[in-house]
Structure 1
Amino acid sequence: MPGLGHDSGSSSSLRRVPKQGRSRDRIDEILKVSMHLIGEKGIDAVTMKEIAALSGGPIASVYQYFPNKSAIIAMLYDRYVEQTRVIISKSISNIASAADALDATDTMFDVYYNNLRQNPSTQDLLNAIQADKNLADRDIEETRYQSDNFYDATEQFIPEQMRDAYRRTLFLMFHMASATLRLALMVSEKEGEVLVSQFKAVVRAQASYYFEGKFPASM
């Protein structure tokens, strides 16, 4: 994500790195069409030939940049990571107190959940990521990176003797957040809202323990 000092490697999946605006536009169109097809048909049903046809060019123009469908999915994942990091960056940028940190956990999760609700094809992308070992491993490291960023922004509010446990808890909660969101998007919107609300209460209770030294009286 821009400004967080870490390169998500968005060009690493490309066979050929674009140098001209027209080439970058072509890649953007390929990715846009791919994401649309993923949401419409699912990952497995999408073909390189179909991507080429709907993105307005010969299939050779797709293979020119992407060696296979997995490379397209990998780059879509890179862009998903960039968007997620922006959400986290904005959520933690104004943290100046433990109370701010508590509120940030709610805000961050709400924004992320609403973005996914509005872009249902992302659900299929997330499932594809978990089904690919290399991408799943990258996703774990990305989760660690994001939780570490939240830790760095909030460790000052945590007693020193509790900081190691706090870091581990953040990593676990960030990982569970992704799983909760995937589940919430698979059930009805009404049930999804209930699951999201319950998960936020659990996160807030854990955060309160570290920030305030006690769990809330009620959840």
Structure 2
Amino acid sequence: MTSKKISSRLQLRKKPQQERSIQRLDAIMEAAVDLIAMHGVADLKMTDIAARAGVPIGSLYQFFPEKAAIIRAFHDRHTAIVQERAELAFPDVKSTDQAIEMLSKLFDEFYQLYRADRTYLPVWMAGMTDRDFQELNLAHLERLTDIIYGALKHLVADNHQSAFRLRVHMVLYLSGALARFAMVRDEVSAQEYLAEWKSMGARTLFEFND
């Protein structure tokens, strides 16, 4: 499926310019947050969102062509925050130990961010079976990989660069999967899994046999 088809199906129909339109869009998004938190994505209905937001259904469709576009809006919020924070996480890395410490802190930050967000897990799960969202998630993973790899590649010998980028990609993917696994467990158990992963995952990035 082409990116053009993805954008036409999922993108915001219009960007609000006037204060009234901005407030209306904010109300729509807040209503969607509440409904997703209460009922999940599968039972989310455009009519329910409009009613809870106190806007005419026509106004809702002015912004979003279908429910999937609202889910895309949440997806974009999540990925933008993650990418922005990752870009700021490694200002001046001098050693692999420092990199591992920074990666561990970043992982903790992302986990707490996800756990506090009432829409993150339902939105991610909704996208699991949607091809458009699968492509969006893959694009996000590639971008995040580029950010982390770009910040840390100077710590790795030239002959290991290809393998290092591959490892960054895999560790990021597995970190996301583990964070989502931890989110559905009690916090004590979650922290045990997270601690083990931080000990294992980050260190494997830099262990090469020369």
Q: What is the TM-score of this pair, normalised by structure 1? A: 0.85
Residue in structure 2 matched with residue 184 of structure 1 by the alignment? 182
Question: Offset of 1:94 from its aligned partner?
Answer: 3.9
Q: Distance in 1 between matches of 2:66 and 2:72?
A: 10
Residue in structure 1 matched with residue 116 of structure 2 by the alignment? 118
Q: Which of residues 31, 34, 38 in structure 2 aligns to 1:33?
A: 31
Q: Which of residues 166, 179, 185 in structure 2 aligns to 1:168?
A: 166
SS in 2 for 1:45: coil
For structure 1, which segment, 81-90 or 100-109, has the greater mean C-alpha deviation from structure 2 after superposition? 81-90
For structure 1, which segment, 201-210 or 148-157, has the greater mean C-alpha deviation from structure 2 after superposition? 201-210
Q: Which of residues 93, 103, 125 in structure 2 aligns to 1:95?
A: 93
Q: Which of residues 181, 193, 199 in structure 1 aligns to 2:197?
A: 199
1:105·1:203 contact (CA, 8 Å) conserved in 2?
A: no
Residue in structure 2 matched with residue 60 of structure 1 by the alignment? 58
Q: Distance in 1 between matches of 2:91 and 2:38?
A: 36
Structure 1 position 44 matched with structure 2 position 61: no
Question: Offset of 1:18 from its aligned partner?
Answer: 2.0
Q: Distance in 2 between matches of 1:181 and 1:39?
A: 18
2:15·2:63 contact (CA, 8 Å) conserved in 1?
A: yes
Q: Over aligned residue pairs, what C-alpha RMSD do you find? A: 1.8
**Equivalent pairs, count:** 202
Question: Offset of 1:143 from its aligned partner?
Answer: 0.6
5+ long unaligned stretches in structure 2 = 1-6
2:47·2:57 contact (CA, 8 Å) conserved in 1?
A: yes
Residue in structure 2 matched with residue 140 of structure 1 by the alignment? 138
Residue in structure 1 matched with residue 4 of structure 2 by the alignment? none
2:74·2:119 contact (CA, 8 Å) conserved in 1?
A: no
Structure 1 stretches of 4+ moved >4 Å: none
5+ long unaligned stretches in structure 1 = 1-8, 215-219
